[in-house]
Each structure stands twice: as structure tokens, then as C-alpha cells.
Amino acid sequence: MNIRTVSFDHPDAVKLNDEVQAEYHVRYGDGGDATPLDVSDFQPPNGVYLIAYDESDRPLATGGWRTQDKNAEGNEDGDAELKRMYVVAEARGRGLARRMLAALEEDARTAGRVRMVLETGDEQPEAIGLYTSSGYEPCTKFGHYRFHESSRCYAKAL
């Protein structure tokens, strides 16, 4: 697997983002994740967006983090917010998500962020399992979905 830094508007990033949004629709029955995101959110030093490619240069997994500091949505100074973690269905179960998560954590740590935070939902038990087995613990809800019953928020010191 080859992990590359790309722009959030790179064609492969757009394709995988469309796939994860379709999966959210199946799991939650709505229009997908409505969290406001901008290409600039993932431009260093404010964040990064990564895609993992196989040996045939096919995009298999994606994820990004963006800088968050103390704000009205519940973030704290030094936060790096994990966004758009996704592995295509046919590549699941091979450890790609765990490798992507580790790469994102290392990049955020190198950028001076002190805590990685994420929001997921109760219809994503695989994601919750990945995060809790990687040292993430429940935290105070933050972000766009902080008032939603199905929202689950986690944090890990970097």
C-alpha cells in the first residue's frame, strides 16, 4: 500500500467521498454527512488528506485531519479532527484503516496538534471498534452532530 497526500478536491478523493456518503445514506437513511468541509481545511499546516493506493494505483482508503481549536462547537485548543476515514468494501479487513489512522495521527502530531478527536455514529460499529482498540476514549460531544442522539465522539492524546 502506498499512502499519498492529495488535495481534498483530487478526483480520487471526490470519488471516495461520494462512496462514503452513499454508505452513510444506507446506514442512516439521510443525505450523508452534512459537516461543512472546505478544501483548505486539509492543506498543511492546517491538516492533511491522504489516500492509500494498491500496487495497481487503485484508491482503496482515505482519511484526513483538520485543525480545530477552542470554538463554540466544543473543540479544544490543539485538536486535530479526523474526517472521512473510509475503506472501499472489497479492501476491508486487511488493516488499511488502522494504517491510515496511524499515518494521520503521526502527521497531526508532527504538525503540533495535541489531541485527535473524531465523531462517528452508532450505526458504524466497525469504526467504533477500530477507534477504541486504537486508544480512543469517549469524550464530550463536539462538532456539527453534537446534539444528535446517534453521535459518538472520541478523543486520543497525541
**Which residues in the chain land under pLDDT 50?**
none
Q: What is the pLDDT of residue 66?
A: 98
Q: Share the mean pLDDT of the chain.
A: 95
User: What is the residue type of 103?
Assistant: A
- Asked whether the beta carbons of 101 and 125 are under 8 A apart, the reply is no
Q: What is the pLDDT of residue 30?
A: 79
- Of the candidates 113, 29, 6, 134, the residue with the CA atom closest to the CA atom of residue 154: 134
What is the CATH number assigned to the segment(s) 2-157? 3.40.630.30
Cα(1)–Cα(48) distance, rounded to whole angstroms?
Answer: 18
Extract the C-alpha cell encoding 31.
443525505
pTM of the entire structure?
Answer: 0.95
Q: What is the pLDDT of residue 106?
A: 98
77 burial via Cβ count (<10 Å: 0-12, 13-18, 19+): exposed
